[in-house]
Structure 1
């Protein structure tokens, strides 16, 4: 029987996927890599059941397909430390923005539910803009 994954397990699996450098990434390879971390080898199906894991897998797989440029090495450790601090600051800011957007989305979902809106009504495409251009 497949093991249900907790939030820390999902987070650990996503971190393994983000740090994947073994060349070709496969679901079976991920299952093998995380088996020791979460205490039991998960199945491919249990990993595919989590949207965040699937999204990280697809992003990493497409990233590995592209030829990544050789990283430019900073000339000193001070420059490297400054760059790391800057990137960590940007990451923290983006995580804060993401959390705020998720909270806003939850508010919108709740209000739509209270008003009886269906998913079809919420996902209707935007209307086309008619700019009255002539056909050539």
Structure 2
């Protein structure tokens, strides 16, 4: 059986890419199915095939190349000198609410001893701050 497995790994390309134990298991299963089929047994076999589609590499673009830099002062600066801006991140009311939550979290963090577990109230405050920041995205 070992010689048959080695020969099959040479003859069948995808079988040669498998580790030896996996190839042996595939061949033994295939052999058992072939024997059962040749003896007229209907075992309700289902086959699954894995297909790999090879796609050609995309051709280079013909237009001019533009680099994009994402920054802090200017949200998006292009290499051709262009700038993209955005509207206000937060309304005045949202800025006040976020500042209030950050101050509340700082106070709650300052009164607990170092290394202590985060309190439920502080965790909830962090959660509300996170919810505000998620709205920015």
Query: Scaled by the length of structure 2, what TM-score is found?
Result: 0.22
Larger helix percent: 1
Greater RCO between the two (CA within 8 Å, min separation 6)? 1
- Structure number with the higher strand fraction is 2
**Larger Rg belongs to:** 2
